[in-house]
Chains A and B, each alone.
Chain A
Amino acid sequence: MSVEAPALEAARVRTLRRPGFAGRTGVRVAVIAIAAIWSLPTVGLLVSSFRSNAAVRSSGWWEAIVHPFETAQWTVNNYISVLSADGLAASFVNSLVVTIPSVVIPITMAAFAAYAFAWMRFRGRAVLFAIVVGLLVVPLQMSLVPILRLYLAVDLTGTFLGTWLAHTGFGLPLATYLLYNYISQLPGDLFESAAIDGASHFQVFRRIVVPLSVPALASFAIFQFLWIWNDLLIALVYLGTNAEVAVLPARLNELVGTKGEAWHLLTAGAFVTMVVPLTVFLLLQRYFVRGIVTGSVKG
């Protein structure tokens, strides 16, 4: 689960880890303290989600860590309750239905566009690309009202289709920009030799560009996935809170409104919404970090 390239290790040791640096123990203590503070809120959530209502109400969750063998306090009923009675299982499926196409559709469109901007010659290329990059500036709040009016007119509110298309539109500028930065750096000789062998642009794209761009596609896919899975605003405005379509954040928000003090349920519900992004994140951390760092650090 290393976060950095091993090649930098030697340089790191040389530059900052000075032999005999007196404060090294102090540094270690400070880092552990900060890491502990950062983890406490999530640990408290996780612990409380497995405690009974009575236990959560009568003592702080840290008591449960001190006395883990008082088994009467532990339960999985909170999860059973939020998944069935509170409808989080259905919302979980809805979240998958919303998220998967909303990741795949914009990446596909952006990859085709990025290839065309990088490797095809056509009139208006510079202007169109400048517009795409310029749209990075526009906050999605600028689109909320007009798109809501459009959706009300064509009856797309509350549909998965409308939500996929909205996420696609809002995700495209960043996707196109990041993929362009990557695809334009691919070695052109490769495409030319494919062209000599008679490959069309479409074949070059599918057989050469897509396989070579997997790292960039993966890091953007993780970004977009986390953003959509965790999104509340678009989910509320275009999809709504109707149980048939509501996604996890919208449903969890409803729970906060209706069961604001039922901490045993709220903590379990929150953890249900977090389990997929946390897993994806821990497994694919390296791609994610690479995606963040490229384009932010010089060089």
Chain B
Amino acid sequence: MTAISLPERRAGPIVGRLASPGALLAAAGLFWIALQYLRDQAGLAGLLASIYGLVGLDDAAAALLEHGLDPVQGKLILAALAIAIGIGGVWLLFVGMNGVVDLLGTRFRERIRPYVFIGPAIVMLSIYLVFPAAATIFASLTDGGGIAENYGRAFDDPEFWIAIRNNVLWIVLGTGGSVGIGLLVAALTDRIKREALAKTFIFLPLAISMVGAAVIWRFMYAWQPPGETQIGLVNAAWTGLGNEAVPFVQTPALNTFALIVIMIWLQTGFAMVILSAALKGVSGEVLEAARMDGANEFQLFFKVVVPMISGTLLTVATTISIAILKVFDIVYVMTGGKFETEVIANRMFTEMFVFRDFGQASALAVILFVAVIPIMALNIRNLRRQGIGA
């Protein structure tokens, strides 16, 4: 790929040239307003009052300051303002910076412009990912009692080992379940009409939040004492078969599996869509040839089709594994990590937010990071082999 070089832009009329720095100033101004006034509704009422004051509506301004905003009205104005400032701000930023570069001498202009284009992204990535990652590693080694306490206490804590055990269960069963069922559905729907409709039903949970899914499944697993009507579907079916109702979420030997089912329910659609596309790429001639040689449908699928889509299978499995490794919401909402359902990401949240032990939380974040690296390396190597990726 070659970079294109563009001719020098001729300087426009002086008003046009000054418009852009003006936009930059406006962006800065909007940012400042956002910072000062959008914290709460009192701030917003103050802002509106000063605007009223400026245009001469002194009575309205005084009333507003005294009584504050009507909650609904205030909320909607706040929403509209916030959205306008958020979106307008970023556009003005680019227009303004580009305009400032236009004011520079022709020699520097085109050398600096690329940095204007990548600048905001690089700055944001530095502030939000590069420096924090370094700071987290540093904090895990030095905060509180230092490396020995932060990592040592983690390793001494029985909850930590429960979390590790559960994360392994989540990755193995969650990934295996999602990919396995996804592959099954992809293969089955490949053979019927109206497959798009069938797939939509399985795909739909992908749009549901993990908090929403947790509520849905708490209701599915709902448990009533024996003798009362079971209103949860799972226990109703279970007792319908003549068994005693089970409090799935509170029972340590079962609950982690019950939570993993939720993840499988959410992620299967993702695996299905990708694998379905891969299946359609398998050439018909190969299948016909295998059939001629007398392969039955199962042999055909596992000995011919699956090896042909193994690259895609690995991509899907690694992507889902990484998502599962970081699972937090489901555990947080369903059990809060109680009843032996703890996982690393929830443990970290608890240390950070409940105990305010930032050193310990940092150590757990680093452990999570270290666990992600081999999976990601596998993923990148696989993408390279398939000829895509960076």
Report which A residues bind B (CB closer than 8 A). 1-4, 8, 11-12, 14-18, 21, 23-24, 27-28, 30-32, 34-36, 38-42, 44-45, 48, 56-62, 90, 93, 96-97, 100-102, 104-106, 108-110, 112-113, 115-122, 125, 128-133, 135-149, 158-161, 164-166, 168-170, 172-173, 176-177, 184, 188, 191-192, 195-196, 198-202, 204-205, 226, 229-233, 236-237, 244, 249, 252-253, 256, 260, 263, 266-267, 269-270, 273-274, 277-278, 280-282, 285, 289, 292-293, 295-299
Contacts and interface: CB of A to CB of B under 8 A. Distances in A.
B253 interface: no
Nearest to B336: A257
Nearest to A269: B215
Contact of B4 (A48, A97, A112, A195): A195
Interface residues of B, number: 139
B220 A41 contact: yes
B285 to A, nearest CB: 9
Most chain A CB atoms below 10 A, which of B118, B196, B297, B364: B118
Nearest to B349: A233
B127 interface: yes
Contacts of A30: 188
Contacts of A28: 192
A146 B216 contact: no
15 contacts: A35-B201, A39-B204, A108-B94, A129-B390, A142-B369, A143-B128, A143-B132, A143-B136, A198-B10, A200-B9, A232-B209, A232-B211, A237-B353, A256-B215, A281-B207
A31 B90 CA distance: 47
Contacts of A252: 211-212, 215
Contact of A139 (B71, B216, B326, B352): B326
Interface of B: 1-7, 9-10, 34-35, 38-41, 71, 75-76, 78-79, 82-83, 86-87, 89-91, 94, 98, 110-111, 113-115, 117-118, 120-122, 124-125, 127-133, 135-136, 139, 181, 184-185, 188-192, 195-212, 214-220, 222, 229-233, 236, 265, 268, 270, 273-274, 276-284, 287, 291, 297, 311-312, 315-316, 319, 325-326, 328-329, 332-333, 345, 348-349, 352-353, 358, 361-362, 364-366, 368-369, 372-373, 376, 386-388, 390
Given A27-B192, A112-B121, A122-B115, A273 B209 contact: yes
Contacts of A256: 211, 214-215, 218, 333
B352 A144 contact: yes
A280 B209 CA distance: 14
B390 A130 contact: yes
Contacts of A8: 280
Contacts of B39: 158-159
Contacts of B352: 144-145, 148, 237
Contact of A4 (B5, B82, B276, B312): B276
A161 B38 contact: yes
Contacts of B4: 119-120, 188, 191-192, 195
A158 B35 CA distance: 12
A184 B124 contact: no
B280 A277 contact: no
Contact of A270 (B10, B132, B200, B215): B215
Q: Is the interface of B mostly helix, strand, loop or mixed?
A: helix
Nearest to B128: A169
Contacts of A192: 4
B329 to A, nearest CB: 5
A276 B324 CA distance: 24
A119 B3 contact: yes
B229 A195 contact: no
A249 B328 CA distance: 13
Given A44-B233, A93-B76, A297-B278, A137 B372 contact: yes
B315 to A, nearest CB: 5
Contacts of B195: 3, 31
Nearest to A156: B35
B133 A60 contact: no
Contact of A161 (B7, B35, B233, B348): B35
Nearest to B283: A15
Most chain B CB atoms below 10 A, which of A102, A198, A233, A273: A233
Contact of B219 (A32, A45, A129, A196): A45
Contacts of B279: 16
Contacts of B197: 1
Contacts of A61: 231, 233
A59 B231 contact: yes
Most chain B CB atoms below 10 A, which of A42, A125, A145, A200: A145
Nearest to A235: B211
Given A145-B139, A188-B2, 16 more contacts: A31-B185, A104-B87, A104-B90, A119-B1, A145-B352, A165-B128, A172-B124, A172-B125, A192-B4, A195-B6, A201-B113, A230-B211, A232-B209, A253-B211, A282-B200, A296-B277
Contacts of A118: 1
A17 B362 CA distance: 54
Contact of B196 (A3, A44, A176, A229): A3
Nearest to B113: A201
B130 A135 contact: yes
A296 B41 contact: no
B90 to A, nearest CB: 5
A97 to B, nearest CB: 5
